[in-house]
Structure 1
Amino acid sequence: MAPYEALRRALEFGIGDHVFLRVSPVKGILRFGKKGKLSPRYIGPFEILERIGPVAYRLALPPSFEVVHNVFHVSMLRKYVHDPSHVLDFEPLQLNETLGYREVPIEILAKETKVLRNRSIDLVKVRWMNHQVEEATREREDEIKARYPELIDQRTFEDESF
């Protein structure tokens, strides 16, 4: 046994564990939906169906990967640790015929005056429909007032900073 192997333990997975599968991007080749260096390094998670030998595992791949063999070496796998923040809440969107949707503001969360060298700009923090509070954006108050006058009249602010 080599000295560097003494400090490492063998990577093992159990049946039913979930793992990411490493994909190697090849320049100019379209794989798994993206092209080139922006292609994903790992895809998944996939469930392990069985262990084949000491270092190979059979994965439950979706039907879209039917051209890919479903047995992989342990070096191609990375353990997936379930995190509830990885799961996104699904909210059905009202899509139009071009498969888009309209952004509509729900409420104004805060107001701030940005002071520049020779003028000041009134900004509001707007929460949009189909978005979480963390995704609220800063918009100019005069633009929001012109497009959505009913939104500005809902609440008055004491220059809250956001």
Structure 2
Amino acid sequence: MDSLDTDFLRDGMEQVHMIQYRLLTAQSRQKSYADRRVRALMFMEGDHVWLRVSPVKDVMSLSAVHAVFHVSMLRKYIPNESHVLSLDSVELGPDLTFEEEPIVILDRQVRKIRTNEIA
């Protein structure tokens, strides 16, 4: 091996070390950004919580909620007199779904798609 090969190899190794160092720096920065948003969630038995079933990307129905979900989907319930919580019983099907029946229709829209009209 001549000196040109060793110089080329040394330069390549230095570039690899520089890339690794910059990747570690970027990972550390991203971790610090993520750690600022993380908050410790502590729930005790008997606490009331909200289960968030509408993620940012898509709206989920209760039938699509899995029996096991991440704790990040829970929000602590802070009692408020303006919240009206009805304790009416709900008839659940064998697959834990229920039929929701509207009490009053407040608005009606008709969408026209090509030649079809959909209410």
Superposition TM-score, scaled by structure 1 size: 0.25
- Larger strand proportion of the pair: 1
Superposition TM-score, scaled by structure 2 size: 0.32
- Larger helix proportion of the pair: 2
